[in-house]
Amino acid sequence: MQPSNPKQSFTQDCAFLALTKLIRNKPLSSISVTELTKKAGISRTAFYNNYNSVEDVIAKYFDKCVDNILDSSDCIRGQYIAIRQLVSEYFDFLSSNYDLLKRLNTTGNISVFTMWLKDCFHGKLSFLVKSLGFLSDYEISCCAGMFCAITRDWLASGSDDKSRNVAEGTLFRLLYIYKQAEEKSSVHYVNPRHIGKLPQYNGIGSFTLVDTGETIKVYVLIEHDEVIASSAVITPIPGKEDILKAAANAVCSFIVGKNCVTALSLCSDDVSRELSGLSKEFMYCASIASSAAKNAAIDYYNRLSLARCLIGEEESAASDYNIGI
C-alpha cells in the first residue's frame, strides 16, 4: 500500500535506505529491528506503525515499485495483455533492483522476494495473471514459481545483456505457450460448438461408464471416408458436467476433417492433448469420449457394409431379370 502522508513516506524511505546499507555487510536474516531503526534514525514505534518485520521493509518497497509500474505501464489495455512487453517490464524491474536482489540471493534470503511475488500474484496482480490464463490458485502459484525460478537463474548467471535476453525470451515463450494452450482448451470448456444431436448423420456411437452411468453419444457425418461433421450428447453426473462436456466437444472437434482411420485409432491421450491436459482424476472422461467416437466410426462402417450388401443383392436380382438399376 502506498504511504498515505509525507511523514509515513519519509519513514519508509529512511527504513529502506538504511536496510540497503546494512545488507551490504550482513545477511538480511541477521539484521534486528533495533539495529535498523538506529541506522535509519527512526523510533521503534514509527517502525511498527509501518512494518511487521524487517523483511516487510523490502516487501513494502517492492509493493511501491509495482504500484508505480501499474500507474505508468501501457502493457495492460482492458483485457488485452501484451505478453512480450509485460516480460520486458518485469526484467526492467529486476534490473533496477539488481544489487538488492543479488545480495538477497547470495546470502540465502531470496525467499523474501519469492514469497512477496507469490503474494502479489495472488493479490494486486491477480487480474493480470488470470488474463494470461492462470485461473485457479494452483495455477497462479505455478506462474509465480515460474517467474521466481527464472529470476533466480538470471541472478546467478549475471546481469549482462546476453543473460537477460535468454531469460526474458524463455519466460516469454513459456507464458505464450501457456496462453495459447489455455485459449485452445477454453473453446471446449467455455464455448463448446459440438454439443447436441447432429441433424444429419450416418454414424452413431456411445459409451457408458458402468460404475457411474456417465455417457457420451457421438454423431458423425462421413463422406468419402472423411468426417465432415460431428457432435455429441452427454449424460453426466452432478458436479462433473463441465469435464464430460469438454471431453465430448474435444473428441468431436478432433475428428472433424480427418479420415475414419483416425477416428478408429483414437485414444484417451488424444482427447487429453486436445484439452491441453487432464488430471488423472478426469482421464476417464477422455476414455469415454474416445470410445464413443470409435464406436461411431464402427457404426458408419457397419451401415456402409449393410448398404453395399443390399445394393449387391439388388444388382444380383436385376441381373437375373436383365434389368438395370
CA distances from 323 to 230, 310, 314, 316 (A): 39, 16, 10, 10
- Compute the distance between CA of residue 325 and CA of residue 314 in angstroms, rounded to an integer: 8
- 79 and 169 in a single domain? The answer is yes
| pTM reported for the whole predicted model | 0.59
Predicted confidence (pLDDT) per residue in 44-76, tens digit: 999 999 999 999 999 999 999 988 888 776 655
Is 39 a domain residue? yes
Is 195 a domain residue? no
CATH of the domain at 209: 3.90.1010.10
The answer to whether 295 and 207 are in contact (CB under 8 A) is: yes
**Residue range(s) defining the domain that contains residue 282:** 203-316
Is 66 a domain residue? no
Say how many domains are in the chain. Answer: 3
Per-residue pLDDT in tens (0 to 9) along the chain, 325 residues = 455 578 888 999 999 999 999 999 999 999 999 999 999 999 999 999 999 999 999 999 999 998 888 877 665 544 445 788 888 889 999 999 999 999 999 988 999 999 999 999 999 888 888 877 787 888 899 999 999 999 999 998 877 888 999 999 999 999 888 877 766 666 777 778 899 999 999 999 999 999 999 999 999 999 988 999 999 999 998 877 888 999 999 999 999 999 988 888 989 999 988 887 788 888 999 999 999 999 999 999 999 887 777 665 544 444 443 433 3
Q: Specify the DSSP element, H or E, that contains 206.
A: strand 203-208
Nearest Cα residue to 222 out of 244, 205, 245, 207: 205
CATH of the domain at 39: 1.10.10.60
